Amino acid sequence: MSPNSRYATCAGYEIHYTEWGAQDAPVVIAWHGLARTGRDMDELAAHLAPRWRVVCPDTLGRGLSQWSRRPQDEYRLSFYARIAADLFDQLGIAQAHWVGTSMGGAIGTVCAAGLFEPQLKGRIRSLLLNDNAPQLADAALARIKAYAGQPPAFDTVRELEAFFRQVYQPYGWLSDAQWRRLTETSTRRLGDGRVTPHYDPAMVQQFTHHDNDYRIWEHYDALDIPVLCLRGAESDLVLPQTTAAMQLRGPGARGQLQVLEVQDCGHAPALNVPGQLQTVEAFLLAAERS
């Protein structure tokens, strides 16, 4: 099954998304990580599409979505939540389940809590955090801050693919075809003809101007929905002590949290192999039944 490529105007910006499955099926929002695009969710969306309507946005400043005109103010979780709220309304989505990798999980958390966008409260039925938590490791955040604002450029796409294979090795196993698609769906050509990752380098201002943007315990504590946290067993971003703390508060204290470790992965599992796909679908089916 192939996706439909579509555009919507959200919070004053053109936002690109791919859409899979039938319009009248239960909805899953699948939101990508920090420097990635919605096409990272292709395997998951294709797996879910026979039963679900799957919407995979490109975040503002990533992929084919428009870049921010005010990066210091708009590359942050509160503005991403505003975009998500508009996307729900534009697409006529009354309720949805949310699968978010890394940053996409944080966006899902603040959307589900409804503290930034109260109109979303109650519209997200379940939340899957793919190597994301309400507090991230300081050392890993410092590493991200150091590289994200200065994406490298290469003469050829094959060189960029080799770079992606190195830096995204923690994703776990990907086939050669998946590595090639990951590269080709997240590449843009610069004015000098070189190629670079397809995102706005100014998005790093989320870290330089909003130091605590990913410290979202208040939002996590407000969740009253089923939550599944998939932690890459070798992740340096989501630490075991953080998932232990999650078990003691918010949905964890209410018996609504599951934490599963994904072996042979760091940050973040690619959600592209049968075991991971089946885990995600089983969680969604259970949440849909409840």
Give the pLDDT confidence score for residue 181 in this predicted structure.
Answer: 97
Give all strands (DSSP E) within the chain, no chain letters.
Answer: 4-10, 13-20, 27-31, 53-57, 96-101, 124-130, 187-189, 195-197, 227-232, 257-262
Flag whether pLDDT at 1 surpasses 80. Answer: no
Give the pLDDT confidence score for residue 142 in this predicted structure.
Answer: 85
Give the largest CA-CA distance in the chain.
55
The 10s digit of each residue's pLDDT in 97-135 is 999 999 999 999 999 999 999 999 999 999 999 999 999
Flag whether pLDDT at 144 surpasses 90. Answer: no
Q: What residues are paired with 16 via a beta bridge?
A: 7
Flag whether pLDDT at 240 surpasses 90. Answer: yes
Q: Which among 22, 17, 15 has a CA at the least distance from the CA of 6? A: 17
For residues 155 and 159, what is the distance between their CA atoms, to the nearest angstrom? Answer: 7
The 10s digit of each residue's pLDDT in 192-230 is 999 999 999 999 999 989 989 999 999 999 999 999 999
Give the pLDDT confidence score for residue 143 in this predicted structure.
Answer: 83
Enter the tokens of residue 75.
């590359």
The 10s digit of each residue's pLDDT in 167-182 is 999 999 999 999 999 9
Domains and CATH numbers, the chain: 4-137+213-289 (3.40.50.1820)
The answer to whether 130 and 102 have CB atoms below 8 angstroms apart is yes
For residues 214 and 206, what is the distance between their CA atoms, to the nearest angstrom? Answer: 9
Q: Which among 184, 187, 219, 217 has a CA at the least distance from the CA of 80? A: 219
Give the pLDDT confidence score for residue 22 in this predicted structure.
Answer: 97
- pLDDT band of residue 2 (cuts 50, 70, 90) is confident
Flag whether pLDDT at 150 surpasses 80. Answer: yes
Flag whether pLDDT at 184 surpasses 80. Answer: yes
Going by the DSSP 8-state scheme, the letter that residue 271 receives in this structure is S
The 10s digit of each residue's pLDDT in 20-41 is 999 999 999 999 999 999 999 9
